Amino acid sequence: MDILFEDYYLLAINKPAGLSAENGEQRHPSAEREALFYLTRVLNEKSTSSRLKVTPYLKVAHRLDRPVSGVLLLAKTKTALLDLMEQFESRAVEKIYMAVVAKRPPADSGILKDWLAKDPVQRKATLFKNEKKGRQYAELSYTVVQNIGPGALLEIRPATGRFHQIRAQLAQLGCPIVGDTLYGGPAWQEHEIKLHAARLTVRHPKSGETLELSAPIPASWQL
């Protein structure tokens, strides 16, 4: 368990690609479950509260796709969870991602704006250029950080947090993420794509202070 930050209210980890963010019906492992095992062990060793030892509270505060690595924030109290969810909903959180794409973008920087609809059958996002009922506005900005052969390393700042937004918008630009075969990218490693949540800036739900969390790009990317 790669711990980035921990106090009474929050736990931030560097989630490996291949783990789901939260517990669900799937049988594959989740970061939430692994973090709960960690927290339970720590509480049994250090806490004097018998209630916490039996029923520790830990919930993921935001979504991070299974094949994506990086900063994942979890709440250790219900009050902290509600506060964080409100911050994400109101777009008060700053998120920065890094991605390796198979083809360089047509410009060194740009802003992508689309309307996104989730296809529940194929479990992927479809993009449109016009607004319509059932579609959500999706916007991100990108900057080329490094050229890598025919591809590039990008820094991405999503202004919205839609389902598969970064993956779908980059693919539509003609720059699919390496490993993201669902959106036309070249195969890499099973259950992993080269998309990484590098930095997350939030307001601490108790102190109100700005909390900046960061995680290094995985060594397996071999940049």
In sequence order, what DSSP letters do the residues of 160-221 get, joined into one string?
S--TTHHHHHHHHTT-PBTT-GGGTPPP-BTTB-SEEEEEEEEE-TTT--EEEEE-PPPGGG
The residue annotated as part of the active site, out of 2, 7, 65, 180, is 65
For the stretch 177-207, pLDDT in tens is 999 999 999 999 999 999 999 999 999 999 9
CATH number for 3-215 (one of 3.40.190.10, 3.30.2350.10, 3.40.50.920, 1.10.510.10): it is 3.30.2350.10
3-state secondary structure of 25: coil
HSE at residue 134, side-chain half, CA atoms within 13 A, is 8
Residues 6+ apart with CB under 8 A from 186: 102, 176, 178, 179
For the stretch 123-160, pLDDT in tens is 899 999 999 999 999 999 999 999 999 999 999 999 99
Domain ranges of the chain: 3-215
Q: Residues 10, 24, 168, 193: what is their CA dihedral angle, to the nearest 10 degrees?
A: 80
CA distances from 109 to 2, 16, 76, 141, 184 (A): 32, 28, 38, 7, 22
The pTM assigned to this predicted structure is 0.91
Instruction: Tell me, yes or no, if 65 is annotated catalytic.
Output: yes
